[in-house]
Amino acid sequence: MGKYLFFVLVLPAIYNLLITDCLKAHNLYLNQVGYLPQAQKYVFTDDPFMEEFFLVEESSNDTVFSASFFPHVAEDPATDLDLYVGNFSSFTQPGRYQIQTGNSLVTHPFVISDTAYHQLYNKSLKAFYYQRCGYDLLGPVADPYYRTRCHRSDGFYHSSTGLSGFHPAPGGWHDAGDFGKYVVNAGITVGTLLMAYEYFPIKFGHDDIFIPESDNGIPDLLDEVRYELEWLLKMQDVGGGVFFKLTAEVFAPMIMPQDDESSRYIYELSTTATGNFAAVMARSARIYAQFDSVFASSCLEAAESAWTYLQNNPDIIPQGGFTNPEGTITGQYGDGDDRDERLWAASELYITTGNSNYHQYFKDHFEDKGVLTGTMWWADVTNLAQLTYLLSEDHTSIDASIQEDLRSALVSKCQSLLDQKADNGFYVLLSPGEYVWGSNSIPLNKAILLIIGYEQTGMETYFNAALDQLNYILGVNVHKLSFVTGLGTNFVLNPHHRPSEQDNIDPAIPGLMAGGPDQYLSDPTLSSLFDSSTPPARCYVDDVDSYASNEIAINWNAPLVFVTGYFAANSLTGIQEDQPTIIPGKIKLLPNYPNPFNSETIIRFVLPESDSVVLKIYSLQGQLVYKEDLGHRFAGESLYLWKAMNDRGEELPSGIYYYLIEGKYRSSYERLVLLK
Ligand SMILES: [Ca+2]
Ligand SMILES: [Ca+2]
Ligand SMILES: [Ca+2]
């Protein structure tokens, strides 16, 4: 056995055995990464004789907390387990702990910390860098997962386009465990990542993720997303329509990307692809404008010409949605309904441009497929269209009554998610039937809705229900497994991911989330192990061959980035409420003057009621650089002169800063540009 084989086969096996034995012996289910101090914290067991648990501080071995387990769910429909829950929410002291039970068994350590999810966030975002196609992954940034540039001849027109010859479309991310590039899946991925940045620019403003573009003054999330946008732009035809995908005719074998020399093709135009493209380009136009106005303009131009194509082609193209032509066996992403992609395009274009044509389209169609009823996924982006409209504060022409309807629908949605949580053994927002291919992305997309619901209402139950979904991904599941490579103690080791499988390095590239249980057993590995009597959540195996349960994909990692990034920079700060109430009059920021400025600027804000408020100013990297108690202010407009200094009275360097006003309510973040 060669050294390589030893590392590949034996070490992980031993490691897995030790850890798995340790965890399974305990019959304890907990988040292996950690918990936020102020959040709800649970440990589950299926052992009816386990009556109580103790929280033990790791270094001192002191018992710092104890509590009893209580019956939670009998015969949980997803797992067939009888589950008992122990609650240690009231213990909030940061540190490293283990859980000890009556029979003296101790689990692996985990943290209670405000920074519990920092590393998870960094790695789940950096995972996109490792998906780059047509790129040399070199130097310390790539270490140790080096690879040279792949797919240098992307791509040739497939005959389905009616065109022939070469059309350069290098770059972008490999979609998943394969090397294909699919516009609709790129669209929802980019849309989700940009949504995270747009609504939480401080949390997602880090410039130190350690990608080649780190420390360039632009948030790394935007740098990484731009790598995909540059490819997407190349997928647009001269008439504005967008080609569906760029792949080989069949999936590559299990080889490294740079060894894949198959011919790759650009497939026919599609209206789902075009609508998706128009939406993300319109959103990009408004987000990148502050960093690169030329690029932003090219995004807007591309979005508008895509929209024109959609207007000229009111029926879905190709008819019935895209299907693989004869001889092609790569991802199909079949979607026979392009109404949601058109709606999303209209919504983003309206918010970016204020143009009444887009607005009218949105007003005419926003209820066509329900109002925030489902969960966003690649075939249905209705929610993304509606959230963009709901959360926009920029337009005087916006229809306040539609926004109010959307807000109410969001609250109803969040309430229904709380009901679903209560019915499920591990508080996961997946019920039998929902354990589909890629099921792990569903609770995370629902968590996004809960996070936005929390931001709108201050309901802590939404905040905690969103965290429950992260708990599920990180170990509170029947497999006692962290579904994210490299994170937690017992994590996925063998994802269906060609570079991870073939790079002679263990463990797998970190920060990638496996698709998770697939009760429909959509691959031969699953169907050989399980059958229709298997409880849905158990239909998973950490096997490289199980593409239906153990592949990774960009559209699954995007909500992981959203949720982990949100909580990585968040402790519970909401307003405590027993019932959901809507905050119609949160603190409004008026444009500061002047902006940009060189030594001082007037910060202007409007309070809905009299209140004591605080001004906070953050660097682009998210560090709090200035905090000032502005004292008690009356309802209405208020002013404050900021002299561009930090708390210690030192002048701050030129750059972009963000600020907000906080009191009983909170304002959104706005930008300050200091130019000396
Ligand atoms: Ca950067
Ligand atoms: Ca659709
Ligand atoms: Ca590997």
User: Mean pLDDT per segment of 10 residues, for the chain of length 676 residues?
Assistant: 39 44 69 95 94 94 96 95 96 96 82 94 98 96 95 97 98 98 98 97 92 95 98 98 98 97 98 98 97 98 98 98 97 97 98 97 98 97 98 88 97 97 94 98 98 94 97 98 97 98 95 98 98 98 98 98 90 35 62 82 84 85 82 82 88 85 78 82
- 174 CA → ligand 3 middle, Å: 17
- Termini Cα distance of the chain: 64
Q: How far is the CA of 340 from the centre of ligand 3 (A)?
A: 38
Cα 194 to Cα 201: distance, rounded to the nearest angstrom = 10
| Ligand located closest to 211 CA | 1
Neighbours of 442 (CB within 10 A): 23
pLDDT for the residue 574? 34
* Residue 182 Cα to ligand 2 middle (Å): 14
Distance 597 CA to ligand 1 centre (A): 23
Write down the pLDDT at residue 638: 82
- Classified as helix, coil or strand, 254 is coil
Q: Residue 585 is which amino acid?
A: G
Alpha carbon of 493 to ligand 3 centroid (Å): 9
Return d(Cα 673, Cα 202) in angstroms, integer: 15
How far CA 644 is from CA of 206, 274, 360, 368, 597, in Å, comes to 21, 44, 42, 49, 9
Radius of gyration of the chain (CA): 25
Architecture of domain 118-368: Alpha/alpha barrel (1.50)
Q: Which residues contact 272 (CB under 8 A, 6 or more apart)?
A: 184, 244, 316, 321, 322, 335, 338, 341
User: C-alpha angle 545/554/199, rounded to 5°?
Assistant: 150
CA of 518 to the centre of ligand 1 (A): 37
Q: Of 280, 284, 314, 315, nearest to 297 (Cα)?
A: 284
Q: Which pLDDT score is estimated for 4?
A: 39
* Ligand positioned closest to the Cα atom of 220: 1
Stated pTM of the model: 0.83
- Residue 570 has a pLDDT of 55
Residue ranges matching CATH 1.50.10.10 in the chain: 118-368
How far is the centre of ligand 2, averaged over its atoms, from the C-alpha of 471 (Å)?
30
Cα 369 to ligand 2 centroid, rounded to whole Å: 10
Report pLDDT for 266: 98
433 dihedral zone (left: phi>0; alpha: psi -120 to 50; beta): left
pLDDT given at position 475: 97
Cα 356 to averaged position of ligand 1 atoms, centre (Å):
35
Ligand with minimal distance to 334 CA: 2
Tell me, in angstroms, the distance from the centre of ligand 2 to residue 271's CA. 9
Which ligand has the shortest distance to the CA of 504? 3
The dotted CATH code for 588-674 is 2.60.40.4070
Between CA 553 and CA 560, with CA 558 as vertex, the angle to 5 degrees is: 100
Q: How far is 271 from 244, CA to CA, in rounded Å? A: 9
Q: How far is the CA of 600 from the centre of ligand 1 (A)?
A: 27
Cβ pair 194, 200 in contact under 8 A: no
Q: Which ligand is nearest to the CA of 500?
A: 3
Query: Ligand 3 centroid to 177 CA: how many Å?
Result: 13
Domain with CATH 2.60.40.4070 in the chain: 588-674
Distance 506 CA to ligand 3 centre (A): 5
